[in-house]
Structure 1
Amino acid sequence: MFRLADHEALDENTLGRFISRHAAESVFRYRPLLNAYMTDYAIFHEAPKPPWKPDNRIAVNFAKYIVDTMNGFFIGIPIKITCDDKAVAGYVEFLDQYNDQDDNNAELSKICSIYGKGYEMYYVDQEGKIGITYLTPMDAFMIYDDSVLERPLYFVRLYIDTDNVLHGSVSDEEKVRYFVQKGKIVWEEEKAHGFSGVPATEYRENAERMGIFEPVLTMIDAYNKAISEKANDVDYFADAYLKILGTLLEEDEIKHIRDDRIINFDGDTEKLIVEFLQKPNGDETQENLINRLEKLIFQISMVANISDENFGTSSGIALKYKLQAMSNLAKTKERKFTSGMNRRYKLIFSNPVSGMKEDDWVKLKFKFTPNFPANILEESQIAGNLSGITSQKTQLKVLSVVDSVDEEIQQIEREEESTRDPVMQQMFGGVVDEQSGVLETAGSRTTEA
């Protein structure tokens, strides 16, 4: 965490020191994490072996699998935002649609899983509307004060142009200042941003800001090395040396044996030895190591291996037990994400462009839905059993096929209204008693209209 005392100004020298520290952190920490996600592992950068030795380089991208699996489980079903205030709900829906926020949330969640944290920045675009975008820790950093509250003081965004010149911006609670680094930092223009606070939010994967596969990265490297050596052994046995003892072959004879794959000797062959030269077979040891590493990678990362053949045979509560560790991770991430979203809408509503009251953000409620495999039949049975015990809203929450409980209740009410329509009554072949409100059908059976 980059921190600055309240009484200390962020001048050119101080900003330059922060940029240097950020560059070092990007190279030594964030770049290896991104490389792992992009299948660029240490096995590809080891010194080459001699030409006469097999030199396979195989990488199994557990990092990408872990990140994408967790991301699909955590935010594969988009976050639902509800609000009893229709004006606020309408603006939030427009804001999210305008900024493709479902996609932004998914990308921000993935960035947090890779790096341990990610950033979201807010601005007023050329159309006069509020824009939201995400940034990786390699592209930006936040500077906090030195108090126990860790209040954001500055948000620094960086980019390099085609001439390899560093550009950036520094946002504080009132304005945005732009700069360029040409040997030294040169300030350019500045402008007010209109938000009541630093217009950016840091989202965290966890309190330690640790990427989801970061604890198992050494295991992934060991797995890649083990499976590459396994492939090398396969090549070695396919190209094993032929050992012939007891006679000396001419070069033409050796070529004949190699090309025609025929060995034919006459005379006394009792002392003649013809066999392949083999090194000790470590297949069982290699397999045990590979299996142990694979099991540990998923166990320590706490992400389920849903591709395992035994995983698909589980159902109901047994399946949820297998996903319990990943569900616990998702709950921790959910709390961190909720904190970030609270700051998002607090800042956005503070800008006059939004047209909202500053405190309207407290009316928003966020619902995260873990992407469990759905059993519709089981859900419908549970919902049916809740009839008469809970409210209709609670019943509908059980059903994963219902995207919006409030909209579903409104649709049910509209359908009930339609049964009171005279045309509908005529279709059902009955009339409604005006005093009792009961539909009397030709079969003398009564139902509520």
Structure 2
Amino acid sequence: MLTYRMNRDTPMTPQRMGAYIADFKTKELPRMRKLYDYYVGRQKITRRTGPEGKPNNKAVHPYGNYITDINVGYFLGEAIAYSSSAPEEADEAKNGTLQRAAAAVRGALKKAITIVTGKGLLDTLQEINKYNDEAAGNAELGTDASIFGIADELVYIDKDSEIRFTPVDPRGIVLIFDDTVESELLYGIRFWENVDILTKAHTEYAVLYSDIECQTYRHAGGLWVAEGEPVEHHIGAVPINPYYNNRMGLGDYEQILSLIDAYDSTQSDSINDVEAFADAYLALIGMGDISFEPDEENKPSEGEQQIRAMKNNRVLLIPEGGDAKWVVKTVNDTQQENLKTRLAADIHKFSKTPALTDQDFAANASGVAIKYKLMGLETVAAKKERAFRKGLQRRIELICNVLSIKGRKYRYTDIAMTFKRNIPANFTEIADVLNKVGGLLSKETQVGLLPVETTYAEERERIKAEAEDGYSVPTADEE
């Protein structure tokens, strides 16, 4: 993954912005396009050529699609849960000395600033997430990150003054960071191309985002020309938010493209051999001189007539000393199958993605055994989680920046995120564990161990409501 850096004192001009876009198109975009091609099945084998008249099958095996979908489904198949254990609110009076000291430095405050934390912030965030279909957006970001090694979203305020965030194609995003150890995002560039449906004319546009404003540009005559005036975005930071797949910014199948190509080629060659066997030649030995040249009236030759008669009658008249046999290419099927098996195993091994269709994967396996087989997938998911969490924290920070415009201070660090793996649960095994050690654990911990979408507080309220309604579940002694 390519990373751009510049000194924060260096001015960002249209010429410099254009240079970043051109460099990105030359160095990074080809890599991203190739990775996307392998996700949708446009692989190297589809461009293979062969001798005319010979079989040239091009069997595509979309391992990239499989690896990404399995990884994203396991990592983000369950919606991310948000929580906060902070108190409801802490206003200026509660903060006391620090708030008053800050007020003395800034001058007289006309009204107290309320710091919204705890459930107040959580409820607001949940409403914003619901409005933006956050779970679906996260899955799309996870897919982009799995393919390209990075995903991007744009945070903005819509025409109804609502806070919005939406994934944007990382193939059209250039990020520029400062050159300090903090690596702060200084600018974001989003570029795209419009094609007129009638004239087929191509026009390229770009939007430059800083921490304060955004400016639209149009590419004309080799120059980037500003369109209109800069617009303040009120986000409080660069509104493009990156999500990395891992520390190196690598896609999930980026390092095994050669193995995928080898598997495609080997499988295609096997199909070619099968077709070549079907197109085998029949050798007739000692059958005399048979002509296949048509006569003057362009009628079938004597040889063609004899062969047609043999096919219709299903009889061969072979003279003494003659023979008939098929001329075929000897195929070492065992060697080919062993090679394909090794290639498939290496693809799963080095991508750390299990072959879920393997009949031995989960046959009569316990929960612990299945987790052991998923250890590679879990290792990848743990790295994804650490990287994705940073992106979510910055998203919440940007949301809090916008909310603070209304005069209330929001503390984004009070929000906690919980990721849950999407894996089939063994209820019998969990119930057995709780039955054995339940007395050593609190009710809240026991509920937390259950693979159901609920909390201890919710269950406590439900049990209380059922008791008030006179509903109860009979025990074994009462039956």
Normalising by structure 2, we get a TM-score of 0.83
1:15 to 10, 14, 17: 17
Query: Which residue of 2 is the match for residue 348 of structure 1?
Result: 399
1:303 to 332, 348, 353: 353
Query: Which residue of 2 is the match for residue 170 of structure 1?
Result: 208
Query: Which residue of 2 is the match for residue 288 of structure 1?
Result: 338
1:264 to 316, 319, 338: 316
1:215-261 Cα deviation digits (max 9, x unpaired): 11110011000000000000000111112232332334345536538
1:407 to 458, 471, 474: 458
Q: 1:53 to 1:23 in 2, by over 3 A?
A: same
Query: Which residue of 1 is the match for residue 111 of structure 2?
Result: none
Amino acid at match of 1:351: V
Identity, in percent, stands at: 28
Question: What is the alpha-carbon distance in structure 1 between the residues aligned to residue 184 and residue 73 of structure 2?
Answer: 32
Question: What is the alpha-carbon distance in structure 1 between the residues aligned to residue 18 and residue 312 of structure 2?
Answer: 70
Query: Which residue of 2 is the match for residue 186 of structure 1?
Result: 225
Query: Which residue of 2 is the match for residue 275 of structure 1?
Result: 325
Higher alpha-carbon deviation: 94-103 or 131-140: 131-140
Amino acid at match of 1:13: Q
Query: Which residue of 1 is the match for residue 284 of structure 2?
Result: 244
Amino acid at match of 1:380: A
Deviation at 1:147, TM superposition (A): 1.4
Amino acid at match of 2:73: G
Aligned to 1:105, the other structure's residue is in SS state: helix
Aligned to 2:78, the other structure's residue is in SS state: coil
Deviation at 1:92, TM superposition (A): 1.1
Aligned to 1:217, the other structure's residue is in SS state: helix
Contact 2:176 2:188 in 1 (8 A): yes
Question: What is the alpha-carbon distance in structure 2 between the residues aligned to residue 286 and residue 316 of structure 1?
Answer: 36
Deviation at 1:405, TM superposition (A): 4.1
Amino acid at match of 1:125: D
Question: What is the alpha-carbon distance in structure 2 between the residues aligned to residue 171 and residue 98 of structure 1?
Answer: 24
Question: What is the alpha-carbon distance in structure 1 between the residues aligned to residue 393 and residue 407 of structure 2?
Answer: 15
Query: Which residue of 2 is the match for residue 67 of structure 1?
Result: 68
Question: What is the alpha-carbon distance in structure 2 between the residues aligned to residue 106 and residue 366 of structure 1?
Answer: 16
Normalising by structure 1, we get a TM-score of 0.89
Aligned to 2:357, the other structure's residue is in SS state: coil
Counting matched residue pairs gives 421
Question: What is the alpha-carbon distance in structure 2 between the residues aligned to residue 44 and residue 282 of structure 1?
Answer: 25
Query: Which residue of 2 is the match for residue 327 of structure 1?
Result: 378
Deviation at 1:91, TM superposition (A): 0.7
1:383 to 420, 426, 434: 434
Q: 1:243 to 1:100 in 2, by over 3 A?
A: same
Amino acid at match of 1:21: D
Higher relative contact order (CA 8 A, sep 6+): 2
Question: What is the alpha-carbon distance in structure 2 between the residues aligned to residue 110 and residue 328 of structure 1?
Answer: 17
Contact 2:154 2:167 in 1 (8 A): yes
Root mean square deviation, CA, Å = 2.2
Deviation at 1:371, TM superposition (A): 1.2
Question: What is the alpha-carbon distance in structure 1 between the residues aligned to residue 424 and residue 366 of structure 2?
Answer: 9
Query: Which residue of 2 is the match for residue 6 of structure 1?
Result: 8
Query: Which residue of 2 is the match for residue 212 of structure 1?
Result: 252
Deviation at 1:354, TM superposition (A): 7.3
Query: Which residue of 2 is the match for residue 92 of structure 1?
Result: 125
Higher alpha-carbon deviation: 365-374 or 387-396: 387-396
Higher alpha-carbon deviation: 56-65 or 183-192: 183-192
Question: What is the alpha-carbon distance in structure 2 between the residues aligned to residue 405 and residue 156 of structure 1?
Answer: 45
Unpaired stretches in structure 1, ≥5 consecutive residues: 429-444
Q: 1:221 to 1:255 in 2, by over 3 A?
A: farther
1:251-306 Cα deviation digits (max 9, x unpaired): 3434553653835225x431x23211122322122111110000000000001111
Contact 1:171 1:177 in 2 (8 A): yes
Q: 1:229 to 1:274 in 2, by over 3 A?
A: same
2:387 to 309, 312, 336: 336
Unpaired stretches in structure 2, ≥5 consecutive residues: 86-117, 197-201, 293-301
Query: Which residue of 1 is the match for residue 173 of structure 2?
Result: 140
Query: Which residue of 1 is the match for residue 94 of structure 2?
Result: none
Amino acid at match of 1:208: M
Question: What is the alpha-carbon distance in structure 2 between the residues aligned to residue 358 and residue 43 of structure 1?
Answer: 57
Query: Which residue of 2 is the match for residue 223 of structure 1?
Result: 263
